[in-house]
Amino acid sequence: MQREVGTLPLAPALRARLAAAGFQTAQELLDTGPCGLSKEVGISREEALEALQVVRQECHGDAARTAGRSGATRKCTALELLEEEQTQGFIITFCSALDNILGGGVQLTKITEICGAPGVGKTQLCMQLAVDVQIPECFGGVAGEAVFIDTEGSFMVDRVVDIAAACVQHCHLIAEAQQEEDLRKALETFSLENILSHIYYFRCRDYTELLAQVYLLPEFLSEHSKVRLVVIDGIAFPFRHDFEDLSLRTRLLNGLAQQLIIIANDHRSAVVLTNQMTTRIGQSQSTLVPALGESWGHAATVRLIFHWDNSQRLATLYKSPSQKESTIAYHITSHGFRDVQPPAVTQSSGGTELNPRKRPRTEEEKQ
Amino acid sequence: MAAKKLRRAQLSQEMCERLSRYQITTCQDFLCLSLLELMKVTGQSYYEVQKLLCKVSRACAPKMQTAYEMKLRKSVSPSSAFLSTTLHSLDRVLHGGVPCGSLTEITSPPGCGKTQFCIMLSVLATLPVSMGGLDGAVIYIDTESAFSAERLIEIAASRFPTYFDSNEKLLCMTRSIHLYRELTCCCVLKRIMSLEEEIISKKVKLVIIDSVASVVRKEFDTKLQGNLAERSNFLTRGASVLKYLAEEFSIPV
């Protein structure tokens, strides 16, 4: 109520006039009423009424926030957060080593960034996640839909078909091994057509389209409330060329990061970004570092770096608030993202398989 | 899309005039500003500015399609998805051949046969669809002056003697291969930018650039300061235009 007039979200010209007329707090505005306001400030009665409605909305919003109801600033105890985090689902990647170092998989409500050299498997992982987010809950998935924003044009539908077919087959094997009724019922809706029709694909050609799409995302997500994953494949590509003004680029990227954090939290979905690598030329040697600069490093909560070691693909957890830094090897097969075959032969669910896949939850369910 | 004028984004006339006073005429300028700057420039309240942002974003945001729709579209025309190279093991590894609608890069040490491969692909693209070709014209951007028309005719005559049985057919084929010799980076870039109209007017079904590296290495010396950024600028700009052309017209590049 004692809020200053200068902080209200009114048009700047109107604000200047109110300040010139001597109004200092919101309470004074509300006390004067629309007619008095229009006479003193010299604006029409309709404009005065609109301004008062905005003021009233703001003040009510303030009061609601201080009362602890949900708003822009939510207040809750750490215990509530703990309970929330424990019941939160993860999006598995079908590579159990990667799931392990991530603490279960890609977390919802967090931004995960995947950096890597070209050809190392970033888009493959994104396509795998877009399929995995749709796994029904009884199989250990999140049962959500996916939004795929592509800036590089590397989304291949045929590859997604392969990955989805392998995933469906895997779930069928589990259902047969377990012989439970609800598993079989869930499988009826988990078909190839369903998976493909729940991946919403946007092709952004430059950074303006990307910015526009991210502005429109909250609306899209409220219409499609089952979306649990937003993938932006290639956030570096549109920002790396045609930018003379680097400070503008930093500003746009920061704004983008903030909007993505809001989207991740409000809609309880995971945001996955892929980044390119750039060479940093040091004094005597050059190293590969993630692109888009140091300030972008703060945007993502979890950072994975994919790289090559001779012919083996490795993934390093570079930044994470809860897991420690470690490196694992992974494999990309015709079925998608998988573990590397361990040297000792272990029993897996389907007997002899061409691609050994170990899912931690399979073992738990079997037990 | 980015250069779309605000007028066509269904903003009111007076709003557009007001914004043009601050040199904001395209959607790109509008979306680059922060909310506070937009409030100052438009003279509107916070909520109004958000509504304006949504309107402008809707004007330039891409269309949504589900993966299922994309798959259906592809399965409707399966044969046009690849350009077969007629080398069976290569086709098998590439799952059909050179894919239409995306960029393919061929690299090798000198003398391995890249230019020969490109010449052969040009011949293949002019063949009718029944023989595995694309039945269209070819745009060949040559930066090394390595294209030899005689070699082209030699390949065509000895590879497909039954089809190219008359001189007329050979001449017809050569007429549909358009060769552009560009020797500097900016010429190459300008040529790539002008390709869109040529593709439509000449019914082009294949674009070959031989080679990107030679012209870039000639002009940009990476030891000099600042050249690295310029070089990557040039490359990424060219790459994004080529990607757009490949996708828009569903042709291999």
Mean pLDDT confidence for B76-87: 70
Residue type, A173: L
Residues A145 and A277 in one domain: yes
Does any domain span residue A359? no
| The one-letter amino acid at B148 | S
CB of A148 closer than 8 Å to CB of B70: no
Cα(A91)–Cα(A142) distance, integer angstroms:
7
CB contact under 8 A, A212 and B40: no
Residue A364 belongs to some domain of the structure: no
Are A46 and A121 part of one and the same domain? no
Q: What's A309's domain CATH number?
A: 3.40.50.300
* Cα–Cα distance, B187 to B143 (Å, whole number): 10
User: Which pTM does this prediction carry?
Assistant: 0.76
**Please, which residues have CB within 8 angstroms of residue B128's CB and are 6 or more apart in sequence?**
B135
Give me the mean pLDDT over the A155-167 stretch. Answer: 86
Whether residue A90 contacts residue A107, with contact meaning beta carbons closer than 8 Å, is answered with yes
DSSP strand pairing (A111-116 vs A106-107) = unpaired
Same domain, A271 and A138: yes
The domain segmentation of chain B, as residue ranges, is 6-60, 80-249
In this structure, are A43 and A149 located in the same domain?
A: no
Structurally, chain A folds into a number of domains equal to: 2
Residue A167 lies in a domain: yes
Is residue A155 located within the same domain as residue A301? yes
pLDDT at B13: 78
Query: Which CATH number characterizes residue A27's domain?
Result: 1.10.150
Q: How many CA atoms lie within 13 A of A361 on its CB side?
A: 21
Q: What is the pLDDT of residues B155-193, one digit of tens each?
A: 888 877 777 777 787 777 888 888 888 878 788 888 888
Are B107 and B118 within 8 A, CB to CB?
Answer: no
- Measured between CB atoms, does A199 come within 8 Å of chain B? yes
Give me the residue from B54, B68, B247 closest to A215, CB to CB: B54
φ, ψ at A276 (rounded to 5°):
-95, 175
Closest CA to B120 of B78, B153, B162, B77: B153
Task: Confirm if A250 and A292 have CB atoms less than 8 A apart.
Answer: no
Residues A18 and A138 in one domain: no
Chain B nearest-CA residue for A210: B61
Percent of chain B with pLDDT over 70: 92
Question: Average pLDDT of A228-246?
Answer: 82
Map tokens 């361990």 to a residue: A342
Tell me which range, A53-62, A335-344, B86-95, is most confidently predicted by mean pLDDT: B86-95
Phi-psi region for residue A134, left (φ > 0), alpha (ψ -120 to 50) or beta? alpha
Are both A203 and A279 inside the same structural domain? Answer: yes
Q: Please provide the CATH number assigned to the domain covering B80-249.
A: 3.40.50.300
> B6-60: which CATH number, 3.40.50, 1.10.150, 2.30.30, 3.40.210?
1.10.150
Task: Say yes or no for a CB contact (<8 Å) between B2 and A208.
Answer: yes
Q: Are residues A35 and A86 in the same domain?
A: no
Q: What is the pLDDT of residue A231?
A: 92
Give the gap in angstroms from C-alpha B3 to the nearest C-alpha of chain A: 9
Mean pLDDT of chain A: 78
Question: Tokens 């069976």 correspond to what residue?
Answer: B88
Q: What is the ipTM of this complex?
A: 0.73
Residues A46 and A181 in one domain: no
Residue of A nearest to B75 (CA): A158
Note down the domain range covering A264: 82-339
Do A309 and A223 share a domain, yes or no? yes
Are residues A123 and A59 part of one domain? Answer: no
Q: Which residue of B has its CA nearest to A252?
A: B32
Separation in Å, CA of B242 to nearest CA in chain A:
11
Give the pLDDT mean for A130-148: 86
Q: What percent of chain A has pLDDT over 90?
A: 4
From start to end of B60-158, where are the E strands?
64-66, 82-83, 98-99, 137-142
Express each pLDDT in A186-197 by its tens digit. Answer: 777 788 888 888
Asked whether residue A224 falls in the same domain as residue A333, the answer is yes
Token pair 């692909």: residue: B121
Q: Which residues pair with A314 in a beta bridge?
A: A307, A329
**Rounded mean pLDDT of chain B?**
79
**In a domain? residue A352:** no
